Structure 1
Amino acid sequence: MEAEAACRLWGRSTELRLRYTTFLGDGDSNTYLAIQQLNQYGFPVKKDECINHVSKRLGTRLRKLKKEMTTTVTTKT
């Protein structure tokens, strides 16, 4: 659904005499791939990521890695 909406917006841009050069994404690669396949301008579109979405994904992966790397040590008392 998101990819279809983005393609509609990019498709209408030529009617309004606009050209998008940068795609600001939230990490959804399907939408960016659909825009690339549309290729209505004849030049590649640059992809930028929203920093909030990137930091959220990075934080999640770091917490998961920390959990996997932590080992429980048992000592005799």
Structure 2
Amino acid sequence: MVTFAFILVFILLGQLMLIVDLILFEYGYMEAFFMVFQSQGTADRYILLFTVLFALGWSIVTDVRRKKIQKKSKSLEMEEQS
């Protein structure tokens, strides 16, 4: 669920940024999309990429941990009922 929320927020913020570029600078959709990547310097691009990949990895780890805890609590509930 955390991974889904991360991906959804990332996509929606990207769309918001593109819409602002479309309105303010009167670019086309694809032109605004490519301007995001062209405006960043090389170091900034790597920092952004690392941050996004790290956050995605962390959200996957969080989902796996939550799934293990839920599975463990369900098994404990079943043992208590028997």
TM-score strictly above 0.5: no
TM range (shorter): 0.3 to 0.5
TM-score (norm 1): 0.39
Structure having the higher helix fraction is 2
> Normalized per residue, which structure has more strand?
1
